[in-house]
Amino acid sequence: MGETKRCLKLTVAYDGTAYHGWAVQPAVHGPTIQGTMQEALGRLTGEALTLVAASRTDAGVHARGQVVVLTTASRIPLERWPQAANGVLPDDIAVLRAEEAAPGFDPRREAAYKTYTYTIYNSTTPDVFHHRYSYQVYRPLAAEPMARAAGYFVGTHDFRAFAAAGGAAKTTVRTVYRCRVKQEGPWIKIEVTANGFLYHMVRIIAGTLLEVGLGRLAPEDVPYILRSGCRALAGPTAPPRGLCLERVVFRPTSLDS
């Protein structure tokens, strides 16, 4: 009698501008990505769905490769899932891909590493088509020292100085596999890949690299700030609009055979 339930892994992109972040929170007024997706996909399958994301992005943060997992008895064929889901989702949330996952697959626990980008638009002229997806800095930034400073984040460090209060992490040690800065005209893009991120970690790294770009910190200050463990020594938290979750890579053991 029992229905066969499947565990689905959706790759999702969203423009986070209109949302109060990923997670449904009782005290928060206004739409969340999780709430909006649960409601829309629940209508699609006729179930009360609970969605789990690899990364709980903050209010205003975007995603090109968020991974969202759900368990459903729906018989919609896997290859039809993206189009069926996009038919019920709003224009600023899109399912790019659907795959089957092992029952009980937890995208948070199984993530081996994640990549975020932080996009800075360094110009005095506004760009009306990109202002939702970038942080405009008016004063000229020196990208070369920013790139050198970024190199100091690579490795296993205690990132306590680069975490906001309010995170629930047991340890503040994380491993950054890659941290680089690329400039193309007025665009400066910071890319950070790590095995995990503390609360606001990428935005504080971005804010610190901005201080370096403005000449208010030296690249060599970064290892000192890391060792200090002191949040006050790092730069300010850069605004969410520049941040985007690019991709999540899972442990090989979690790959579907």
83 contributes a contact to a copy of itself by CB under 8 A: yes
- Binding range to a copy of itself, per CB under 8 A, among 29-37, 92-100, 109-117, 152-160: 92-100
Catalytic residue, candidates 15, 58, 91, 92: 58
15 contributes a contact to a copy of itself by CB under 8 A: yes
Question: b/e map of 79-111 (b: 16 or more CB within 10 Å)?
Answer: eebbebbeeebeebbbbeebeebeeebebeebb
Please give the C-alpha separations between residue 61 and each of 29, 33, 48, 106, 241, in angstroms, as whole numbers: 17, 11, 26, 22, 6
124 contributes a contact to a copy of itself by CB under 8 A: yes
CB of 138 to a copy of itself, least distance (A): 8
Of 5, 43, 109, 131, the one binding a copy of itself by CB under 8 A: 131
152 DSSP β-pair partners:
none
62 contributes a contact to a copy of itself by CB under 8 A: yes
Contact present, 231 and 160 (Cβ < 8 Å): yes
- 31 by Cβ neighbours in 10 Å (0-12 / 13-18 / 19+) ranks as middle
CB of 127 to a copy of itself, least distance (A): 7
Would you call 91 a catalytic residue per the annotation?
Answer: no
Binding marks (x or -) toward a copy of itself, 192..231, rule CB under 8 A?
A: ----------------------------------------
- For residues 227 and 209, what is the distance between their CA atoms, to the nearest angstrom? 17
- For residues 55 and 99, what is the distance between their CA atoms, to the nearest angstrom? 18
* Site residues for a copy of itself per CB under 8 A: 13-15, 62, 82-83, 86, 91-94, 96, 124-129, 131, 133
Query: Which residues are the active-site residues?
Result: 58
